[in-house]
């Protein structure tokens, strides 16, 4: 999930959702994109 929210409640809700693998906050950086590419996407 890519979001601008930093709310602890939103983070906790996202952990309970079966289709959310990680909570990523904006702004989206090259480092965050690389993390997604190497850790979250199927090979």
pLDDT of 40 above 90: no
Task: Provide mean pLDDT across the span 24-42.
Answer: 91
Cα–Cα distance, 12 to 14 (Å, whole number): 5
Task: Provide mean pLDDT across the span 27-38.
Answer: 93
Cβ-proximal residues to 10 (8 Å cutoff; 6+ apart), any chain: 3, 23
Cα–Cα distance, 4 to 22 (Å, whole number): 14
- Write out the two tokens for 4: 């601008």
Segment (H or E) for 25: strand 24-25
pLDDT at 27: 95
Rounded (5°) CA angle 29-30-31: 90
pLDDT of 33 above 90: yes
- The pLDDT tens digits for 1-28 are 999 999 999 999 999 999 998 999 999 9
pLDDT of 43 above 80: no
């Amino acid at each position: 999930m890519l979001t601008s929210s930093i709310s602890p409640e939103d983070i906790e809700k996202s952990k309970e959702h079966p289709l959310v693998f990680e909570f990523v906050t904006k702004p989206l950086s090259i480092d965050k994109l690389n993390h997604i590419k190497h850790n979250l996407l199927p090979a």
